[in-house]
Structure 1
Amino acid sequence: MTDFTLAAEVPAKDASTVILLRDSDAGPEVFLQRRVAGMAFAGGMTVFPGGGVDPQDAVAEVAWAGQPVSWWAERFGVDEGKAKALVCAAVRETFEECGVLLAGPTADTVVADTSGYAQARKQLEAREFSFSEFLARENLVLRADLLRPWANWVTPVGEHRRYDTRFFVAAAPAGQIADGATSEAAEADWQTPAAAVADWTRGHTMLLPPTWSQLTAIGEFAAVADVLAAEPEIPVILPTLYQEDGQLRVRFPNQEPYYAAGAHPWGKR
């Protein structure tokens, strides 16, 4: 077994990922997207909605409902500027990537139908204006209270693109429809964690270790409310690359079931 090394370490960019949840007769379901093949990062992989923090997320002036920025900073172990950027990016990316908007006309309401914002969604994805400008124009309050901090994974050293990703969980608001109408997704659907892992085990999809790990963890809960109430510890998980039997693998906590299922590095078969 040989550790993988790279001469120059690429800095990890901050990113936010949101695990959208809804209840079903079979337990909680998660919203997943298969990224377009050929993308520079995680092309062809099945992932949760999310993406990199935009510089404007850190300076966004938004009406805010929920725990203060200082609470988020403590939970993720970052300064308040970064905490604000991460939460704003989480809400923005979720809207851009699947049309779910965690915002409402007041601090205790949420938009029931986002179809009227379809054009704005496209413009946001194209960076024609900022998310804070969109919220202000539509008189919407960012509902940070609908999010919960969940995990923190960093792309291994050795990758050409690296992200320091904070995972959030959130229940999909009633009435809103999650979709795959984004340039980054080839397809999208709701699945129970067990079904998603089973698809991967059969070789029908590809899961990165962070995605597999979150699916495995959420699969232990009986309902969405239980996930939202969990309050997990959030250590920084930095996997490492190594070679074994001529194959590149990823070393990460509780990896044994991942490789026992016959997964090649990064879930490829």
Structure 2
Amino acid sequence: MAEFQLPPELAQHARRFAEHGGVPVEPRLASTVVLLREPFEAYLIRRAATMAFAASMYAFPGGGVDPRDAAFHPGWAGPSPARWAARLRLDEPVARSVVCAAVREVFEESGVLLAGPDESTVVGDVSGQEWEEARLALIARELGFAELLSRRGLVLRSDLLVPWSRWITPEHEPRRYDTYFFLALLPKGQVPRDVSGEADESLWCPPAEAADGRYAMLPPTLETLRDLAKAGGIDGVLAAAPARDPADAIRPTADQPKRPVM
């Protein structure tokens, strides 16, 4: 497990928590998707001020794994759940649920659907009224993600996801997540839109500009953008991804990291 030093203010909260004998809550499994497009830009949403976690912070679309992400199996294309399990060092059912959550959450929070009728095709524009009704039903848990894809004759395109990193929320936070970060190129013909009730703003921005301090964001978002900026462009990012270990959890700490994060 790698360690990342928290910014001073957050480190102070972490030290107080430890000094008072705080007991950390168990982190919830989650998935996050960094949408990228040419010219080299990443998609960000600003979480609403009313949110219990990361309120008013800029982040990537994502959220917790839902029990139905594991219980129901959508049609599947791309690397098998077994291959994802090996890459993420997870049991196969858990790896399947993490990948399903990534595709489901990015659709719920940005209106982008990483699915298609077969392994070589991606669905086009999904901004119409019928799609919007389906998206809202998905958020309300009136419709399962596997059911949504089945009704439309679609399969989940797991090959459109590129595993990137894994971050665990600091122990002092009352809500904690064990989050797998994925990258995805914006499918041709699809346009993200500000659709989520959890967000009040969305934007595209070059990673280097997004990471220069103009936007409030938590360390995982900021460091991800910095890593993307170092790659120089989408080709560089895709070339760097296979050498990364997306299963090696990065744990923010109040103290000097024991070893640097690569």
| TM-score, with length taken from structure 1 | 0.85
Question: Is 1:220 matched up with 2:235?
Answer: no
Q: What residue in structure 1 maps to residue 159 of structure 2?
A: 145
Shift of 1:254: 5.9
Shift of 1:225: 3.1
Instruction: Please list, as runs of the form range in 1=range in 2, the aligned pairs for 1:181-260 lying within 5 A after superposition.
Output: 181-198=195-212, 200=213, 204-230=214-240, 231=242, 232-234=244-246, 235-241=248-254
State the Cα RMSD in Å. Answer: 1.9
What secondary structure sits across from 1:37 in the alignment? coil
> What one-letter code is carried by the residue in structure 1 that aligns with 2:67?
P
113-122 vs 42-51, which moves further = 113-122
Q: Distance in 2 between matches of 1:110 and 1:237?
A: 32
Q: Distance in 1 between matches of 2:201 and 2:228?
A: 22
> What one-letter code is carried by the residue in structure 1 that aligns with 2:107?
F
Shift of 1:109: 0.4
Q: What residue in structure 2 maps to residue 16 of structure 1?
A: 31
Q: What residue in structure 2 maps to residue 94 of structure 1?
A: 106
What secondary structure sits across from 1:233 in the alignment? coil
Question: Is 1:74 matched up with 2:86?
Answer: yes
Moved >4 Å (runs of 4+):
250-255
Q: What residue in structure 2 maps to residue 48 of structure 1?
A: 60
Shift of 1:251: 6.5
> What one-letter code is carried by the residue in structure 1 that aligns with 2:132?
A
Distance 1:33 1:251, change over 3 A: farther
Q: Distance in 2 between matches of 1:188 and 1:31?
A: 7
What secondary structure sits across from 1:219 in the alignment? helix
What secondary structure sits across from 1:165 in the alignment? strand
| TM-score, with length taken from structure 2 | 0.87
> What one-letter code is carried by the residue in structure 2 that aligns with 1:153?
W
What secondary structure sits across from 2:120 in the alignment? coil
What secondary structure sits across from 1:239 in the alignment? strand
Instruction: Please list, as runs of the form range in 1=range in 2, the aligned pairs for 1:104-115 lying within 5 A after superposition.
Output: 104-115=116-127
Q: What residue in structure 1 maps to residue 179 of structure 2?
A: 165
Note the alpha carbon deviations across 1:66-112, whole angstroms, 9 max, x for none.
11111211221111111000000000000000000000111110011
Counting aligned pairs with the same residue, the percent is 47
List alignment gaps of at least 5 residues for structure 2: 1-10
Distance 1:253 1:190, change over 3 A: farther
55-64 vs 150-159, which moves further = 55-64
Q: Distance in 2 between matches of 1:128 and 1:75?
A: 32
Q: What residue in structure 1 maps to residue 193 of structure 2?
A: 179
List alignment gaps of at least 5 residues for structure 1: 243-249, 256-269
> What one-letter code is carried by the residue in structure 1 that aligns with 2:178?
D
Distance 1:194 1:253, change over 3 A: farther
Note the alpha carbon deviations across 1:13-69, whole angstroms, 9 max, x for none.
000000000111xxx210000100131000000000000000000122211111111
Question: Is 1:38 matched up with 2:50?
Answer: yes
Query: How many residue pairs get matched?
Result: 241
> What one-letter code is carried by the residue in structure 1 that aligns with 2:232?
A
What secondary structure sits across from 1:229 in the alignment? helix
**RCO comparison, higher one (Cα < 8 Å, 6+):** 2
Q: What residue in structure 1 maps to residue 4 of structure 2?
A: none
